[in-house]
Amino acid sequence: MFIEGEMGLQGVDLEALKPEEHILLQTEQDREAALRWRIANDIRKKKTGVRNKILEFLRANVRHAVTGEELRYVANDKTEWARRVRELRTEQGLPVATRNTGRPDLAIGVYVLEQDRQSPGHDRNIPDPVRRAVLVRDGYACRKCGWTHDQWNPSDPRHLELHHREHHAAGGANTEENLITVCTVCHDEIHRNSR
């Protein structure tokens, strides 16, 4: 959640936090949590991909808040869970909301599938030859912050994505000229600032 920019805690040095240390994000008891954890446990055991597990869990809790901790558990503690949630929102067109994506009423690290529906269909998939050409052109580095996979470490779920200069939903094409390479952190920031 820290890497994804979901931890807006003032005065707390999150980088110094040890694995056995915890931060209480809210004091209110969540009475529905036991049911969500039972559902999460059932889904976690299934022989399917991380994205499918997360989608099934979000659909089982449509319009109800779920935590990043629950999503990570459903994903069998794989660090890719945040990327898979973002893919559901940006590539699959599902209305997954967070505090940073237009729902300031949500607590930090909370996700809501607002409706079990996809945005109207459009070609969200960038052809592999175009994707490769853009990554090569941009030197496999984020055009905003310069981050590369050489800087990756196991606690950093960040990866490189392609961003449409003219938004795809507004008719922007899947062409090299309309795409730039950005890391996931910068990509979220670009979309946050474009609202």
Estimate to the nearest angstrom the gap between the alpha carbon of 40 and the chain centroid. 18
Q: Where exactly are the structural domains of the chain?
A: 14-113, 128-193
**Whether pLDDT at 80 is above 90:** no
Note the pLDDT of residue 4: 47
Model pLDDT for residues 37-47, shown as the tens digit of each residue: 999 999 999 99
More confident residue, 92 or 169: 92
- List b or e across 53-86, with b for residues whose CB sees 16 or more CB atoms inside 10 angstroms: bbbbbbebbeeebbbbebbbbbbeeeebbbbbbb
Supply the pLDDT for residue 8: 56
% of residues, the chain, pLDDT over 90: 32
pLDDT in tens, 162-190: 888 988 777 888 899 999 999 878 887 88
* pTM of the model as a whole: 0.56
- Helix 33-44 vs helix 50-60: angle between axes, to the nearest 10 degrees? 150
